[in-house]
Structure 1
Amino acid sequence: MRQTIQALALGAALMFAPAAVHAQAEVEQTQDAVADPENTIIVTGESDREVVEELGKIITRPSRAGKPIARFDDAVCVKVSGLPDDMAELVAQRIRDNVSSIRGVSLGEEGCKPNAFVGVLNNVTQAVDNLRTDEPWLFEGLLSYQLDRIYDGSEAVRAWHVFDERNMDGSQIPGKQRGTSGEDSIASTINMIENASRFGRTRVNLTGAVVLVETGALREKTFRQLADYATIRILASVSDEIDTARSSLPTMLTLFGPRSPYQPTELSEFDRAYLESLYDLPANSRDGQVIAAAVTRYRTNLGMED
């Protein structure tokens, strides 16, 4: 996947050129935007645990077959395209700063090969359709339900990851072959036989992340908002398909929601609690464990009493 993301990054100058001029005008207009105190929502009362837990369940793209929740093991190396160079670097640096602030995830050194790509362009859905036809290697190993998830959520964003299941020590699982899923395959047979003995002793790595954002959606958004939204979509397999009419907890994932009652200005307390829990727990943790840890961390960070 390192090679695929690098190849996408090398072609980005051509792929995203039409969006750059428009994005520059739209983002520059709002770079000085400030937080509106009236848009800050704080969860209080007896149901705060339930509210945090519910949002955690909503955003988490559930693992299948009892597999661990996915996260990066390799250092994260960010590439931003589709914006003028100076603007792209501002967004990329903000993402790097966010990554550096999360214990348990490392940041790639200067000159690293990109494995986390953020692109700004026109018609993100058509772009994904074209890539699936012309560059299928960008979706290597994704199952049908994982491909379907790319199109869920905000129409302004298309995001996906490539995954790699490994033993806890990072070694390959015997018989595990990427893209082999047929019932008669040797890999499938071995995996079925060994599944019980491997339960709890494997991890699922995120080996690549792609976040594509519609140019027009950047109107009235800041660099920080774009970068912070991209951060959580890069570091975690989450969805921004949130019913903002029901949610009472701030999260950056509502940034591109069509009916969001507020616009978050940066990663929220919930967002940070979720990411910190994801990367602080053991690599073989399940969805529910991460969500439960996020609830506790959120309450602790805000000084809430049990």
Structure 2
Amino acid sequence: MRRIAGLVLALSLAAPVAAQEVPLRTTPEIIVRPPPTEAERHRELREFTRTVIRPPRLHQPVAKFAFPVCVTVLGLAPQDAAVIAERIRANAEALGVGADRSPTCVPTVRVAFMAPAAGPPESWLSSESPQLAHLAGYQKERVLGEAGPVRAWNRIAVRDALGNAFRPQLGDQQRFPTYTEIQPLSASDPIVTTEITGAAVLISREAAQGFTLGQLADYATLRVLLGTGAVEGDAPAPTMLTLFTAPAPPAELTDFDKAMVRELYDASFAASARRVYNDIARAAVASERSGAGGKQAP
């Protein structure tokens, strides 16, 4: 008995001591952060604008339409196409671009809804497509590299300070383009200006299901009036450009969207891209501070 008792005692001494139970913390940790200052918000929206509006090449101004747009919509029932076209015209007029309502105007804005028979968006266009023949190499890369159910592009004309066509001419080596020398009217005049002379948007008809005609028209408005691509990731401001990516996209153009178009078209053709981005951010921040904010779909 003494041996058994001793063995039991030895085993009990050798057994590990049970860890003391620590009650789980049920209250989540809350970190309170102050809202960004106006300067911080301005900087955030300015950088976001730079990613939304494609920067020009060679320090050129940001391209925009110089004349009211003539709109045509294809690939939908006539009544639906008419509603979208009219909404794009109304947006263009309200945002300072202008719209040509003549029934005989030559379309400068084309929005096409692609039927399933056209195949996936990746098959709509190639580097050899005649629709893209007027684009520079880097512009084709942008169009063909876009993911998702939309492909969009702008036809850009480069002009001198007087509005005359400004085309590259081959140099003596026939390798690098050189430009005819333009004498500016003064030190503040631009050497070149850039103008959107036409824009096109192709949208998958299947992907458009479930959205209102107003949402589709507002999305197309931004893609044709601005040289912009789709927004990827979380947007720091509500924008209709997230229509096909956000779980709850806006119901209509947001204040940030309107600021982008208004400030670009209010600026002179000589305005630098930096100034345009700053003006857009300033207007967007002012709208937020006034309590208007960007409208979101319920």
Change (3 A) 1:263 1:277: same
- Confirm or deny: 8 A CA contact 1:153 1:242 kept in the other structure: no
Residues 171 and 178 in structure 2, CA contact (< 8 A), matched pair in contact too: no
Higher relative contact order (CA 8 A, sep 6+): 1
The amino acid across from 1:99 in the alignment is: A
The residue correspondences of 1:1-306 to structure 2 (distance < 5 A) are 45-46=36-37, 47-103=40-96, 105-111=97-103, 112-121=105-114, 122=116, 123-129=120-126, 133=128, 136=130, 138-173=131-166, 176-177=167-168, 184-185=173-174, 188-191=177-180, 194=182, 200-244=190-234, 247-257=235-245, 260-304=246-290
Distance 1:86 1:166, change over 3 A: same
Deviation at 1:102, TM superposition (A): 1.2
1:112-140, CA deviations, whole angstroms, 9 ceiling, x for partnerless residues?
A: 110100000133332223xx54x52x324
Distance (Å, rounded) in 2 between the aligned partners of 1:110 and 1:80: 15
Looking at structure 2, the residues matched to 70 and 143 of structure 1 have their Cα atoms a distance apart, in angstroms, of 15
Query: How high is the TM-score relative to the length of structure 2?
Result: 0.76
Given that 2:110 and 2:201 are in contact with CA atoms closer than 8 Å, whether structure 1 keeps it comes out as yes
SS at match of 1:145: helix
Question: Which whole-Å CA distance do the structure 2 matches of 1:283 and 1:95 have between them?
Answer: 23
Aligned residue identity for 1:250: P
Unaligned ranges ≥5, structure 2: 1-34, 292-298
Q: Work out the number of aligned pairs and report it.
A: 248
Residue 27 of structure 2 is matched in structure 1 by none
Consecutive unaligned residues in structure 1, runs of 5 or more:
1-43
Query: CA deviation digits over 1:140-169, x for unaligned, max 9?
Result: 431111001013444100000111011233
Name the amino acid aligned to 1:295: A
CA distance in 2, matches of 1:195, 1:232: 34
CA contact (8 A) 1:83 1:120 kept: yes
Distance 1:91 1:233, change over 3 A: same
**Which structure shows the bigger proportion of residues in helix conformation?**
1
* Paired residues of 1:152 and 1:239 also in contact (CA < 8 A): no
Larger Rg belongs to = 2
